[in-house]
Chains A and B, each alone.
Chain A
Amino acid sequence: MAEIQLHGVTKRWGNFVGVDNFDLTIADREFLVLLGPSGCGKTTTMRMIAGLEDPTDGEITVGGRVINDLEPKDRDVAMVFQSYALYPNLNVYENIRFPLRVRGTDPAHHEQRVMRASAMVELDDFLHRKPSELSGGQRQRVALARAIVREPNVFLMDEPLSNLDAKLRVSTRAQIKNLSHELAVTTIYVTHDQIEAMTLADRVVVMEKGIVQQVGSPTEIYDRPANTFVAGFIGSPAMNLIEGDCAGGVFTTDSTRIAGLDVADGPVTLGFRAEDAEVRPGEGGQITAPIYTLELLGDATMVSVRLGGVLVAAKADKTFRAEIGDMVTIHVPQEHCHLFDTRTGERIGG
């Protein structure tokens, strides 16, 4: 059992708060993704679990045992570093064998275990090469094999894909997903890439400025963002956010009027996703504005209009054609509207 619990974990450097009062229970065999922009404290959280950073406050337990004061080697975790951190003087075989060797496990089983781990990441042909003779993707797989060879309780992955090119990233992502399914080990995965988070995670933790913004499954985070930060961070393109006023269930700005909303009067931020909106040439929508730009995506056409300084995007049919400057209206079905308190940014309805 490797259920990980974090109770009020905090990391401060002087006055700077890296991670603030982090509370979370990570279930056994769960794939948890820590997601956020750089500097949000996600890597620090992972490093505290690995034991490479001491929490200023709070308690971390693995399987019910407090591990705050344990050395990294005694925590039974394995980690994949962003830079891979392969040992340059050892060949691939010795790199993968290293955790077994330093932990003094029975040498008779080393070869078999290394071969199994390297087969899982398809490295069999490169075992005698030095890391400097490998491509980026191969190095990444060596780092993965080195992590899985020991069959640890917990996997930690620190942006393992960020140094790969776009195409390799997609295939390696699929490989990691498959591996985690096969190994069924508790995994914590740090990334700033929301697509990685959506595709890999059982649960996503969205962080910003050291504070947890939302914890939930990928669908929850996508469909019901807890605040404007999550709404603006998740999705490609991110959710459209329009600031305006609500009176009697009617949201209005200069060019927008959406009625039938169930929300108290006052300043409100309205959010909707591009794919939920409908673009209509001429009349009939709730947002009326000239087209700012048109992007052909192949499977759809992205229409953007400018509303008081912010760009609002809506997905139109792939056959949609218009000129920049043409007037369009955008229809947002009322059930797809998300409403946030403009002052606090918290979700208040929709």
Chain B
Amino acid sequence: MTAKALRQPASLRIVSGAFLAFWCLIAAFPIAWIAVMSFKSPVDAFDSNPLNVIFGPATRADGSGWSILEIGLGLAVIWVTARLTVRRAPPLVASYSPGGYVALGWIVAAVLIGLGFVLVFFGLLPLVTDLLNPILGPLGRDIIGATTEHYQTVWIERGFIDNFRNSLIVTTGVVTISLTVGTLAGYGLARSGSTLAFWILIIALIFRSLPHSVLVAGYLPVFINSAEWLAPILGENAPTLYGKPAAVIAVLVAINQPFTIWMLRSFFANIPADLDEAARVDGCSHFKAFRLVIMPVMWPGVITTGLFSFLLAYNDFLVTSLLLDASNQTMVPAIAGMFNRETTTTDQVVAVAAAVSITAPLFLLVMVFQRQIVSGLTAGAVKG
């Protein structure tokens, strides 16, 4: 029972609730709207009547759309998948993964769930609905016009799948390197009381404050001439780094590393040094204490920091567009290439579909790690 004094007056609750709902609507609207647009034929997508955009009569007239049955079954599959992931997966992972390899168990589980979902949603579901739609009458008739042709255009004809792969390479590289260096450096700097550590942090801050284009300008000649200066080490096969993902990874890590070091350092500083010392007296070497005692406590911090460096690498436009050649382009600069003066409405809807494709993984990522991110952002520390 809440004390009367602590309860908010009804008017305040209504106003704050209404404001929150209004704000959510405004915040979510652009994303939701382009998501709807991306499934429509160009005529519907740019219709002046918003209801036509939502229900897509022209798209339906073209013969593609979703029936009530399809929508229902689709939502059900999504719901069951989410439910399985949240409820059933944790105990299964815990009981099947060998001690100390729970993270590995989760990776396997994620791959299995993803594969299963794709198989059922894109393989089994169309077969079932094709069979049932003619039998069920009104339930089986298309009510919302929707087409996935733009996604097919983007991913297959325009080669967005290559851009996706490149984005994956760049972000994986950036996140792995900046987290590895960042945790080790952050831990060292947090535990060291020397003035050198302080100055290293200040220098890192200065690097962070440089405009990104300055860094790119500095790296450019080095990458273009890399075949020359790498030759003494790698011999004949020395690569030209310009245009390769490795070059972008190097620059993005350089941009991002000061931030990850600072952030991880403050997480480590919040973990009492007594913990490492207790572990060392209990029988760990310094590194083993870091691995067995400090890292398990640090996961929220590592995940939060990892998310930030992922976002930086994933969303970067300047560095990727300057340093990558066409065959290695990531998703964000690829979208920019989809617009030009001759852009047709079809091209625009295709670009919108590409934009939705870029956003979807971000949603998924934040959903999966939301608990860790929240505790990483708010608490910042684990109390012993």
Contact = CB atoms under 8 A, between A and B. Distances in A.
Interface of A: 50-52, 71-73, 77-79, 81-89, 98-99, 102-103, 131-132, 146, 150, 156
Given A81-B278, A85-B272, A102-B292, 11 more contacts: A72-B281, A82-B274, A83-B384, A85-B274, A87-B278, A87-B279, A89-B297, A99-B283, A146-B282, A150-B283, A156-B281
Contacts of A86: 278, 384
15 contacts: A52-B277, A71-B280, A73-B282, A78-B281, A79-B277, A81-B277, A83-B384, A85-B272, A86-B384, A87-B279, A88-B297, A99-B283, A102-B283, A103-B283, A131-B384
Contacts of A73: 280-285
A14 to B, nearest CB: 12
A150 B186 CA distance: 32
Interface in B17-50: none
Given A85-B274, A87-B293, A89-B296, A78 B282 contact: yes
Nearest to B193: A13
Contact of B281 (A77, A83, A87, A89): A77
A102 to B, nearest CB: 4
Interface in B283-332: 283-286, 288, 292-293, 296-297
A233 B50 CA distance: 84
Contacts of B275: 85, 87
B382 to A, nearest CB: 5
Given A87-B275, A102-B292, A50 B281 contact: yes
A196 to B, nearest CB: 20
B383 A88 contact: yes
Contacts of B297: 87-89
Contact of B384 (A78, A85, A102, A146): A85
A135 to B, nearest CB: 14
Give 8 closest A-B pairs by Cβ, nearest first: A85-B278, A85-B274, A99-B282, A103-B283, A102-B283, A89-B296, A72-B280, A79-B281
Contacts of B296: 87, 89
Given A88-B383, A88-B384, A102-B288, A83 B283 contact: no
Contacts of B383: 88, 132
A26 B156 CA distance: 78
Contacts of B288: 102
B166 to A, nearest CB: 37
Nearest to A146: B282
Q: Which of A77, A82, A88 is most buried by chain B, counting CB atoms within 10 A of its CB?
A: A88
A43 to B, nearest CB: 12
B384 A79 contact: no
Contacts, number: 72
A157 B244 CA distance: 57
Given A86-B384, A87-B293, A102 B277 contact: no
Contacts of A52: 277, 280-281
Contact of B282 (A89, A102, A156): A102
A173 to B, nearest CB: 22
Contacts of A102: 279, 282-284, 288, 292
Contact of A71 (B274, B285, B384): B285
Nearest to B293: A87
B285 to A, nearest CB: 7
A73 B281 CA distance: 5
Contacts of A103: 282-283
B384 A84 contact: yes
Nearest to A100: B283
Nearest to B295: A89
A98 B384 contact: no
Contact of A88 (B279, B280, B281, B382): B382
A52 B279 CA distance: 11
Contacts of A150: 282-283
A85 B274 CA distance: 6
A26 B337 CA distance: 78
A83 B283 CA distance: 19
Contacts of A156: 281
B206 to A, nearest CB: 28
A233 B281 CA distance: 32
A132 B280 CA distance: 22
A85 B280 contact: no
A99 B272 CA distance: 19
Nearest to A80: B278
A51 B296 CA distance: 24
Contacts of A132: 383
A71 B281 CA distance: 9
A229 to B, nearest CB: 30
B134 to A, nearest CB: 56
A324 to B, nearest CB: 47
A71 B285 CA distance: 8
A81 B274 contact: yes
A256 B279 CA distance: 58
A86 B280 CA distance: 13
Q: Which of A50, A89, A132 is most buried by chain B, counting CB atoms within 10 A of its CB?
A: A89
A114 to B, nearest CB: 13
Contacts of B282: 73, 78, 98-99, 102-103, 146, 150
A64 to B, nearest CB: 21
A85 B294 CA distance: 12
Contacts of B382: 88-89
Q: Which of B288, B292, B384 is most buried by chain A, counting CB atoms within 10 A of its CB?
A: B384
Nearest to B296: A89
Contacts of A77: 281
Contacts of B283: 73, 99, 102-103, 150
Nearest to A82: B274
Q: Which of A81, A84, A131 is most buried by chain B, counting CB atoms within 10 A of its CB?
A: A81
Contacts of B281: 50-52, 72-73, 77-79, 156
A102 B100 CA distance: 13
A80 B288 CA distance: 20
A132 B282 CA distance: 21
A164 to B, nearest CB: 16
Contacts of A98: 279, 282
Given A102-B292, A131-B384, A132-B383, A85 B285 contact: no
B288 to A, nearest CB: 7
Contacts of A89: 296-297, 382
A77 B383 CA distance: 26
